[in-house]
Amino acid sequence: MQIILLYLSILPSLLLGFYIYHKDVVEKEPFSLLLRSFIGGIVSGIIVIILSMWLHVSNYSLDSMSRILFYSFVLVALLEEGFKFLLTYLVCYKNKEFNYQYDGIVYASFVSLGFATYENILFIFSTSDLLTALYRGVFTVPSHVFFAIFMGYYLGLAKHYRRYHSKKEYLYLSYAFFVPIVLHGFFDFCIFSGNTSGVLFFLIFVFLLYIISFRRVREVSEEGKHI
C-alpha cells in the first residue's frame, strides 16, 4: 500500500514534468538548472509549511465567506505562489540559460513541480487514502503546474523587456506574481465554499485551466521566441 501511495504521489509530477520538458523544442535547459529549480520548489514548500505552522493556518476558522476568501487568497495562494515566484526569480530569472520565452514556463513549472511533489507526498501519506491520491493527481498537482505556466509565460515577457531596459519588465513581473495568486485563490475558494455552486465553478475552472494551459504551452513552444 505504501509503495502504491508513493508512486501515486510522484507520478503526476513525472508526467507533467516530462511533457513540459518535451515541449522545449528549440534548446533544452541544462539538467543542473532544472534540478536546482525542482529543489527550489521543495525549499519553497518547506518554508510555506513552517510559516503555516507559525501562523496556525490549520486552525483558521472557515465560518464565513469573508474568512474563506482571506484563507484562500492570502493564507494559501499568496504564501504558496509568492514563495514559488521568489524561488523561480532567484534561481532562474537572471540566469543566462533563460534565453527563450518558453524557458520561463519550464523553470516556473519545475519549481512548482518540486513544491507540488513535496506537498503531495505529505498529504497522501498523512491520509493513506487512495481517493486523496487520485484527487490530487487529477486536480491539485496539475493546477500547481497550470499556475506556473501563467507565471512562466509572464516571466518570459519580463525577461524580453529586461533586454531593452524597458519599464514593461516590471509590469510583466507583477503579472507573473499576481496572476497565479488570483488563479490559485479562486481554485481554493471554490473548494472551501462548501456549496454546489462552488463545486460546479471548480470543475469548470479546472477544465478551462487544462485547455488554456496546454494551449499556451503549445503556442509558446512552437513560436520559439528568443529573448
Question: Is residue 12 over pLDDT 70?
Answer: yes
Query: pTM score, two decimals?
Result: 0.95
More confident residue, 127 or 197: 197
Confidence of residue 125 (pLDDT cuts 50, 70, 90): confident
Q: Once rounded to an integer, what is the mean pLDDT over residues 93-105? A: 96
| CB-based contact 106:29 (threshold 8 Å) | yes
Helices 196-223 and 101-127 sit at what angle, rounded to 10 degrees? 140
| CB-based contact 88:156 (threshold 8 Å) | no
